[in-house]
Structure 1
Amino acid sequence: MNKKYDVVIVGGGILGTFHAYHALKLGLKVCLVEKDLRPNGATTQNFGQVVPSGMNAKWQKYGRESLEIYKEIQSLFDITVRQNGTVYIASNDEEEQLLVELRAINSNNGYCSRMLTKSDCLEKYPGLQASYAKGGLFFPEEVTVEPRTMIHRLQLYMVGQMGLEIKTKFTVVGCVKKEGEVELHSSTNQRLSAQKVVICNGSDFKNLYPELFENSDLEVAKLQMMQTKPQQNYELKGSILTGWTIRRYEAFAECPSYLGIKKNEPEDSLQKKWGIHILFKQAADGSVILGDSHQYEDAANADDLGNDLNMDIDNFMLSEAKKIIQLPNYEIHRRWYGMYSQCKSKDIFRETLSGDIHIVTGIGGKGMTGSAGYSRKSIDKIFNR
């Protein structure tokens, strides 16, 4: 059966879902198709941190729009959003200097943040090691979500309250412009038609336009994370980002001292080899998610990243985490990895085929924070609004 829509979104992750959200806001008839029974890619395999503070000036605007969108939806329907803030903990003078400079940048941008002294940090974050913390920078507006459930709750809201249609286990194997419409063919011989198609396929480059992706500057990142057993009688509020995060996140690259500080870093450290920066976030059940690492391959060689976990990476992250926060227990309940795609030379991958087939992918690690805001601009551009 060939059903017709204003737009079909291919990919049920965070970027595709928010493209669908903003298309629905324009009053369009929208179908979201997902190749699996439910989204299970990078959208569900991350920390669930919404941190515009970590983005450069351009993407912080999208991130701040995303915060407003998350909070608006949460006021209508529980999608697991909790406003408990983000803190960056400096471990030395260099990192603290970057925090001071970032606060000045955000002050000029009108984005609320406040410096924390060492004693402030130790009082606010139980278990934080006095030998590690020198000071902090806190962003009170930022939120966390439960990544394994948020996207499903969001889609439930969009189906029930906004009129979204979702088709799961719908693997698109063909997408062709025909007689003024775009026709999609699934692996089970189902067909859909739409005025426009938006393809948000994350790091899955095998089914549609594989040659296009292989010849692009897209790369795939593999991130390792782990989760402790629930912590008894212990509360760690918000997102806890540490010194290596300060040295890694793109927001800090806009600080005057950044380049000089980066030049002094040892090139052969394990954190550079494995792209590690230590993050903490407490889940709703009291467990603590920690990580993460970054290993990269070109889109054409993404399979070389493998399907296993490197236990040397996990063990190193654990040993470093214990130097920062002493949790009641570090018993690991789950270990996993996630994959996302990003561009080497651009901040997102966009390609338009036959005028009405729009590929939007490669948002990288900005997905959870930037997708809601960016997708609004993207949909407006696609529909000339």
Structure 2
Amino acid sequence: MNQSKIHLQPTDVLIVGAGITGLAHAAEAVARGLNVHIIDRDTRAVGASIRNFGHCCVGAQSGELLELATVAREGWLRHSELAGFFSVESGGLVVARSRAEVAVLEELAATRGSDQMQLINAAQVRQELSGSGDPAILAGALIRDDIRVDPREAVAKLAAWLAKQPKVTFSWRTSYFGTDSREPVSSATPDAETSHRTDVTVRTSRGTLTASRVIVCVGHDLDYVHPDVAEPFEVNRCSLQMALVRPAAPLTIRRAVLTGTSMLRYPAFAETGAAAELKKELAANSPELLAIDANLMLTQRPDGTLLIGDSHHTATTQDPFLIEQTQDTLLNATSKLLGMGSYTVLQRWQGIYASSPQQSFLIKDVAPNVTAVSVTSGIGMTISFGLAKKTFSQF
């Protein structure tokens, strides 16, 4: 966009933020036949939406998160076909290397149908890991509904597809400064439509825009634009370290791979009675992983490279510095998991996402017809399409 200011007609929905949460809400608006305007301060998504495993981690969720993830799964598959990006219904592989980890899998499997979660033996696990793997592997589980995308491709192609839709407008390099809303139109006997109609003026770095509905999807930057929402929910920034590596020898790992540390992080596993014993065991045997709050897992991109991670550290403001010891811990643990030698590290990076100790996501009205939506945990890729449906269902 070349012009310094934007002068457009009012739109049905204005979405702030072109990360996966914002784009999922835009896709939902398109499906409902609405006019959509998306603004973003950058020229493309460069945040948490591309700095992740590209894993829609359905089977590890529980309760409402499982419901949202199941809906999101269909959203990913549908838009993969529409927008032409890679997706695969690969499922997930959970690797167990101790009796405590096996106990967690057995307990969860007892509550899930065998069509959703299948326990497998050590030989089958190694086969899934391209014929190799840690000698300590005892068993594992196959999770049916997990899917994978390449996050560096998927988000960009979804935005490109949306931009081609006749009722969608993008304004890149446009910062959001807040809104001004007029009071809803009133009458002596207001009907449902009149009583909820509010014109919203959106202030941006390129002038003002007008929309019937504004959805603010700015992730961990919620405190920059709506601190009155972020602070009560204790929304902070969770930083993580990840790496893109090329294995020394070619291998094929079709599924997203989770480990014992993943069982402490994702609710379906963490809510089992056996998880308490697992935490004690990991504290005794793998303190270096708990020290960096690791979720040791990996996914393989279509070009054969591996996305490896990740560590976690929560603070209101994050230092920008990557810690080499943290990276070494993750890479060494991955080498042990796969039973392989060294890797060629192609890239290292810091990811940052919104984190709240109170809940995994929030949908909060900040003004008449202005709603803030944020995934306040590390499952934005997992639930965003489902969260978008939930948001619109509440309007």
Q: TM-score, normalised by structure 2?
A: 0.89
Are 1:202 and 2:202 matched, yes or no? no
Within the candidate set 11, 22, 31, 2:37 is matched to: 31
Q: Percent identity?
A: 23
- Shift in CA distance, 162/329, structure 1 to aligned 2, threshold 3 Å: farther
Within the candidate set 245, 253, 272, 2:270 is matched to: 253
| Partner of residue 68, structure 1 | 74
| Partner of residue 173, structure 1 | 177
| Partner of residue 119, structure 1 | 123
| Partner of residue 318, structure 1 | 331
| Partner of residue 57, structure 1 | 63
Equivalent AA in structure 2 for residue 165 of structure 1: T
Tell me how many residue pairs correspond in the alignment: 374
Are 1:154 and 2:158 matched, yes or no? yes
- Shift in CA distance, 139/162, structure 1 to aligned 2, threshold 3 Å: farther
Secondary structure at the residue paired with 2:253? coil
Secondary structure at the residue paired with 1:266? helix
| Partner of residue 300, structure 2 | 282
- Shift in CA distance, 94/277, structure 1 to aligned 2, threshold 3 Å: same
After TM superposition, the structure 1 stretch with the greater mean CA deviation from structure 2, 313-322 or 348-357, is: 348-357
Given that 2:34 and 2:167 are in contact with CA atoms closer than 8 Å, whether structure 1 keeps it comes out as no
Equivalent AA in structure 2 for residue 102 of structure 1: L
Cα distance in structure 2, aligned partners of 1:195 and 1:211:
22
Within the candidate set 369, 380, 386, 1:367 is matched to: 380
Are 1:79 and 2:85 matched, yes or no? yes
Are 1:5 and 2:11 matched, yes or no? yes
Equivalent AA in structure 2 for residue 314 of structure 1: Q
Kindly provide the CA deviation profile for residues 15-67 of structure 1, in whole angstroms up to 9, marking residues without a partner as x.
11111111121111111111101111100111111111121222111111111
Which of the two has higher C-alpha Rg?
2
- Shift in CA distance, 24/258, structure 1 to aligned 2, threshold 3 Å: same
**RMSD across aligned positions (CA):** 2.1
Secondary structure at the residue paired with 2:145? coil
Within the candidate set 368, 376, 383, 2:389 is matched to: 376
After TM superposition, the runs of 4+ consecutive aligned structure 1 residues lying more than 6 A away are: none
Cα distance in structure 1, aligned partners of 2:227 and 2:145:
40
Cα distance in structure 2, aligned partners of 1:9 and 1:362:
15
Are 1:42 and 2:59 matched, yes or no? no
Given that 1:172 and 1:207 are in contact with CA atoms closer than 8 Å, whether structure 2 keeps it comes out as no
Kindly provide the CA deviation profile for residues 280-319 of structure 1, in whole angstroms up to 9, marking residues without a partner as x.
211121111111000011xxxx32x211101110011112
Cα distance in structure 1, aligned partners of 2:160 and 2:69:
23
Q: TM-score, normalised by structure 1?
A: 0.91
Equivalent AA in structure 2 for residue 294 of structure 1: H
Cα distance in structure 2, aligned partners of 1:327 and 1:260:
29
Q: Which runs of 5+ in 2 are unaligned?
A: 1-6, 184-197
Secondary structure at the residue paired with 2:394? helix
Cα distance in structure 2, aligned partners of 1:354 and 1:83:
40
Equivalent AA in structure 2 for residue 291 of structure 1: G
Cα distance in structure 1, aligned partners of 2:346 and 2:79:
31
Given that 2:59 and 2:144 are in contact with CA atoms closer than 8 Å, whether structure 1 keeps it comes out as no
Equivalent AA in structure 1 for residue 155 of structure 2: I
- Shift in CA distance, 127/313, structure 1 to aligned 2, threshold 3 Å: farther
Q: Which runs of 5+ in 1 are unaligned?
A: none
| Partner of residue 210, structure 2 | 193
- Shift in CA distance, 133/211, structure 1 to aligned 2, threshold 3 Å: same
1:219-234 matches, within 5 Å, as 219-229=236-246, 233-234=250-251
Equivalent AA in structure 2 for residue 45 of structure 1: R
- Shift in CA distance, 153/327, structure 1 to aligned 2, threshold 3 Å: farther
Within the candidate set 278, 291, 296, 2:314 is matched to: 296
How far off is 1:224 after superposition? 0.3
